[in-house]
Amino acid sequence: MGLTDNPKGLADSLKTNLYKYPALRPLMSWKETIPPISPSGLTIAKFSSFATISWSAPPAASDGNLADQYVVYRSTSLPIQIDDARNIAVIQTGTSYIEQSMPPAGVTYYYGVTAVDRLQNESALSNLMGFNAAGPVAVDESESLPKEFVLQQNYPNPFNPSTAISYQLSAISFVTLKVFDVLGREVATLVDGVRNAGIHTVQWNASYMPSGVYFYRIVAGNQIQSKTMQLVK
């Protein structure tokens, strides 16, 4: 089986282990979901044929877990969409990355880094930086943040057994994101804690649930949104 268009970065062929884009392993929903603290101090040094992106490792999160690896995101526009695997430049354990792909004339590459712990919980993005043919470009963080609160439709939908749910926050908020069955019974808590402004994505593995329609509801401060999704086995 050859590579196909695969915007979510999933394996195209288990037999040959081929991938079109890097991807994180699915979040283990039966484990705790406390995200790591975001990396900080991201800087870019540009040279004639490459650029070096560096950042500082974050301290341990409230659960004691440290960053196990880092995801370097690269985008030609802001905000950086971390739910799109095409924006992943690399997944690695070190705190610096050598970018050997130079942006075309008139194009700026923007970078942000997240931390991922051993349970595949992912942090919010670090500070952002960019570079173009002229050199490094500072990013106004206020311009890179979402302007409104939005809950996205899950993808894929219908799904079996896992799906991704993305939401965006215009300000730091205490967030709960829960899943309910058609009778209104809570079946999963995906988020329960403070989240930074930005775009966030969580995974729900519904392998333990029967087929049917489910509702997911997010509460962020005084804002509430909900949507439906369908599990088909």
The CA angle 188-190-191, to the nearest 5 degrees, is 135
Q: Is the pTM of this model over 0.95?
A: no
pLDDT tens-digit series, residues 194-231: 887 777 888 899 999 999 999 999 999 999 999 999 99
Residues 168 and 224 in one domain: yes
- The encoded tokens of residue 135 equal 């050199």
Domain that holds residue 95: 11-143
Domain end marker among 143, 159, 194: 143
Residues 135 and 178 in one domain: no
Distances (CA, A) of 111 to 31, 78, 129, 163: 30, 10, 5, 26
Residues 29 and 135 in one domain: yes
pLDDT tens-digit series, residues 68-100: 999 999 999 988 888 788 999 999 999 999 999
Residues 36 and 136 in one domain: yes
User: Would residue 1 count as lying in a domain?
Assistant: no
Residues 94 and 180 in one domain: no
Q: Are 89 and 74 in contact (CB under 8 A)?
A: yes
What pLDDT shows up at residue 143?
61
pLDDT tens-digit series, residues 23-70: 665 555 545 567 888 999 999 999 999 999 999 999 998 788 899 999
Ordered strands of the 186-195 beta sheet: 186-195, 173-180, 212-220, 223-231
- R_g of the chain, CA atoms, integer Å: 18
- Residue 185: band (very low, low, confident or very high) from pLDDT cuts 50, 70, 90: very high
How many residues are recorded in the chain? Answer: 233
